[in-house]
A and B are shown apart, each in its own frame.
Chain A
Amino acid sequence: MSFAMFVQHFFNALTLGSLYALIAIGYTMVYGILRLINFAHGEIFMLGAYFVFWGVTLLHLPWIVAVILSVIVTSFAGILVDRAAYRPLRDAPRISALISSIGVSFFLQNLAIVVFSAIPREVQRPDWLVTIIQFGKIRILPLTIVVPILSFILMLGLLYIVYRTKPGLGMRAISKDIETSRLMGVPVNRVIAITFGLGSALAAASGIMWALRYPQLQPIMGVIPGFKAFIAAVFGGIGSIQGAVVGGLILGFMEIMIVAFMPSLAGYRDAFAFVLLIIILLIRPTGLFGEKLEDKV
């Protein structure tokens, strides 16, 4: 393999990995606080991407305004999902909420098919993000640089909220013991709503970034990225925000490098990701960063 080709693979992997990381952060945050794997995360991700599309095509908004609006609308959608599907099950066994999230996932997929139709849509991309930068044989999109930076900033922002603000304090309290937090006067439902709002905003951000890289909108576009990010989150130690970022990057690099070094195995790329998940669950169920479970949010 030539050096140029390796560098090209490296950047491909960096983009894919940081996209996984971005989605995984949202997964892991909700899990850290509620011990709920929110399977509808991939669908919220899809909604975020679609809202930008509608903002630009129907309301004729400038792209950046549509993005901001989409993030806000999507976070409210997340809060609504929590209110309708998870809050009534707050005191039920954890498995009930998990199953409810699968229900929400199917519901949103099918709703999207009815409302947006199953026909794939094109994505409007601002030129400055997709004008190719070329160094000799290596070609990268500005997006390749933007996505990792954005993932990093969002990770820091989230850590700040969780460890340095009052709602963050509430989140950490709830993650330890929801009953006691309630007794101590933590507005549990409000804090959880904020959690879902934040998680959904992250999902929207990653959905928008994903759609810039892989420019096609489909109602089921969130399914596979959602699973991959879930694997990344488990790999990094679900509940750990830093772990999600590391896990996402490792998964992205693994997927690309498998194809790069063993092209004949390219068709089994997805299988590797799921095998990785099984191995982690068997050997180290708490993931890379997940030892001290109780401390993580």
Chain B
Amino acid sequence: MKKGLLFGLIVAVVVIGFVAFRGQEAPEAPAPEEQATEAEQPVAEGEVVKIGVFLPLTGQNAFGGQLELDGVKMAHQEIPEVLGRKVELVVVDNKSDKVESANAVKRLIERDNVVAVIGTYGSSLAMAGGEVAEKSGIPMVGTSCTNPLVTTGKKYIFRVCFIDPYQGAAAATYAFNDLGASKAALLIDVANDYAVGLAGFFERSFTGLGGEIVSNLKYNSGDQDFTAQLTEIISKEPDVLFIPAYFAEGAIIMKQAQELGADFQIMGGDAMDNPKIVEIGGDAVEGFVHTTFPYDPTMPDMSDMAVQFTENWKKLHPDQEPNVNAALGYDSYAMLIDAMTRAGTTDPEAVTQALAETDGFDGVTGITTINETHDAEKPVGVVQIKDGKKTYIATVEPAL
């Protein structure tokens, strides 16, 4: 009996190992097999400029992917031609899956012979797809993939969004200069690259500006109890707590912080940029501040581009608010067309060269310059939850 029990328990522990990791994986929603291809244009091959779009239209990231696709389509509607030739979009769903993502780009390049690729939401998806584009020598413009590795060492990969170091620095700048914080605490998911990266860059900039990190605590993905860490942080009396978490986790951290009587300002990154945060966080997220891309329908002092985008979006989608993903989708297409126009050709090499030289491109999400690592440099937006509503409160440039 004892032996059987021991054996059973050991088996159970091994099984736990597998299941524990499975538990954190993304659920995959049933996905329709067919790719949505834009209606064939009755124009001869060669006259059409084919641009491939790969985005997560099903699965875990479908929400963001769909908005970005709507943004790309809207830009395509407004700028349907380049160099006097019609542009055709070929859209493939990458199903929020790395393997599908690589396959999608392969298909776009080999079967559809696209001259450039747009995509995608999700850094890991962009990395998988980018690998294929890089090997084939086809330029790719990323939408909202913020991990530095997406473009590192790549010749043909670009993006319209800023990267995590830039955002972390901007958040620190805002905390130190605008909020007047001198003591900051960090609460980081150690199992999440995004969180670890963003927190690291926040810390570097914050201490560089003269601030002090009074507490730097960790937790693990899937944790739901943060009371021990928060009690410890509260005892250190920071001015600001930076939590680079996803919105669901962030909401639950803030709820527990509220219950424990935390009175410091809580800040987060763009992963908190989700309208649902108010719904699940309730009054605990009131006053919460996070950095994001500099576009929001509530922002004051909108650029002409942003005003025009918002108006046109509302005409096309009267029942849905535009958001930053849609704006980034729009910008990725517009920036690509801008590069093709400057190159005077759709030849991939020339377009790549032109993309790299992008300087002061006027996008919905701000004046964009592509730097030597192929990442966008543009202002960072700051949003605060006020009266249960996301309110755009400031635009900051990181003081690095």
Q: How many residues of A contact B (CB 8 A)?
A: 69
State A214–B5 Cα separation when bound (angstroms): 34
Contact B5 A225 (CB under 8 A): no
A238 to B5, CA, bound (A): 10
CA distance in complex: A2, B232 (Å): 11
Contacts of B29 in A (CB 8 A): 113-114, 118
A216-B8 CB under 8 A given contacts A260-B232, A270-B220, A293-B2: no
Asked if residues B20 and A223 are in contact (CB atoms below 8 Å), the reply is yes
- Closest chain B residue to A257, Cβ basis: B228
Indicate if B255 sits at the interface (CB-CB under 8 A). Answer: yes
Judge whether A83 is part of the interface by a CB distance below 8 angstroms: no
**Alpha-carbon gap, A267 to B221, bound state (A):** 10
A residues less than 8 Å from B12 (CB atoms) = 37, 98, 230
Docked-complex contact B10 and A281, CB < 8 angstroms: yes
* Per-residue contact bits, chain B 2-39, to A (CB 8 Å; 1 contact, 0 not): 10111011111101100110111001011000000000
Q: Which residues of B have CB within 8 Å of A213?
A: 225
Q: Is the CB of A266 within 8 A of B217?
A: yes
Q: Are A8 and B15 in contact (CB under 8 A)?
A: no
Q: How far is the CA of A258 from the CA of B260 in the complex (A)?
A: 19
B19:A12 contact, CB within 8 angstroms = no
- Residues 255-295 of chain A: 1 if any B CB is under 8 Å from the residue's CB, otherwise 0? 11111100100111110001001100100011000000110
Task: Report the separation of the CA atoms of residues A118 and B27 in the bound assembly, to the nearest whole angstrom.
Answer: 8
Min Cβ gap B187→A in Å is 9
Report A268 CB to chain B, min CB distance, Å: 8
Alpha-carbon distance A121/B276, docked complex (angstroms):
9
Asked if A281 and B228 make an inter-chain contact with CB atoms under 8 angstroms apart, the answer reads no
Beta-carbon nearest neighbor of B258 in chain A: A132
Q: Report whether A118 and B229 are in contact in the complex, using a CB–CB cutoff of 8 Å.
A: no
Q: From A2, A16, A37, A256, give the contact of B235 (CB < 8 A).
A: A2
Asked if A269 meets B223 with Cβ closer than 8 Å, knowing A260-B228, A277-B13, A285-B9, the reply is yes
Is A270 in contact with B231, judged by CB distance below 8 angstroms? no
Q: Which of A2-41 contact B (CB under 8 A)?
A: 2, 5, 8-9, 12-13, 15-16, 35, 37, 39
Checking B225, B228, B248 against A120 with a beta-carbon cut-off of 8 angstroms, the contacting residue is: B248
Interface residue ranges of A81-140 to B (CB < 8 Å): 94-95, 98, 102, 105-106, 109-110, 113-114, 118-122, 130, 132, 134, 137, 139
Chain B interface residue count, Cβ-Cβ cutoff 8 angstroms = 52
A42→B281 CA distance, assembly (Å): 24
B282: CB under 8 A from chain A? yes
Task: Report the nearest A residue to B281, measured CB to CB.
Answer: A122
Give the docked Cα–Cα distance between A13 and B225 (Å): 10
Q: Check if A219 sits within 8 Å of B8, measured CB to CB.
A: no
- Chain B residues whose C-beta falls within 8 Å of the C-beta of A13 in the assembled complex: 228
Q: Answer yes or no: B299 CB below 8 A from chain A CBs.
A: no
Q: Is the CB of B280 within 8 A of A122?
A: yes
B260 A281 Cβ-Cβ under 8 A: no
Give the CA-CA distance A210 to B276 in the complex, in Å: 21
- Closest chain A residue to B227, Cβ basis: A12
B10→A259 contact, CB < 8 A? no
Q: In the complex, which of the residues A134, A224, A263 contacts B223, with contact meaning CB atoms closer than 8 Å?
A: A224
Residues of B near any A CB (own CB < 8 A):
1-2, 4-6, 8-13, 15-16, 19-20, 22-24, 27, 29-30, 60, 188, 190, 215, 217-220, 222-225, 227-229, 231-232, 235, 248, 251-252, 255-256, 259-261, 276, 279-282
21 A-B Cβ contacts within 8 A?
A5-B231, A9-B228, A12-B225, A113-B29, A130-B259, A139-B259, A139-B260, A141-B259, A213-B225, A216-B224, A230-B16, A256-B228, A258-B228, A259-B217, A259-B232, A269-B220, A269-B223, A269-B228, A270-B223, A277-B13, A293-B1
| Chain A interface (Cβ < 8 Å from any Cβ of B) | 1-2, 5, 8-9, 12-13, 15-16, 35, 37, 39, 94-95, 98, 102, 105-106, 109-110, 113-114, 118-122, 130, 132, 134, 137, 139, 141, 210, 213-216, 218-221, 223-225, 227, 230, 234, 238, 255-260, 263, 266-270, 274, 277-278, 281, 285-286, 293-294
Give 9 new A-B contacts, CB below 8 A, not counting A139-B260, A216-B280, A255-B225. Answer: A12-B231, A95-B8, A110-B27, A121-B280, A216-B248, A263-B217, A267-B217, A270-B223, A286-B5
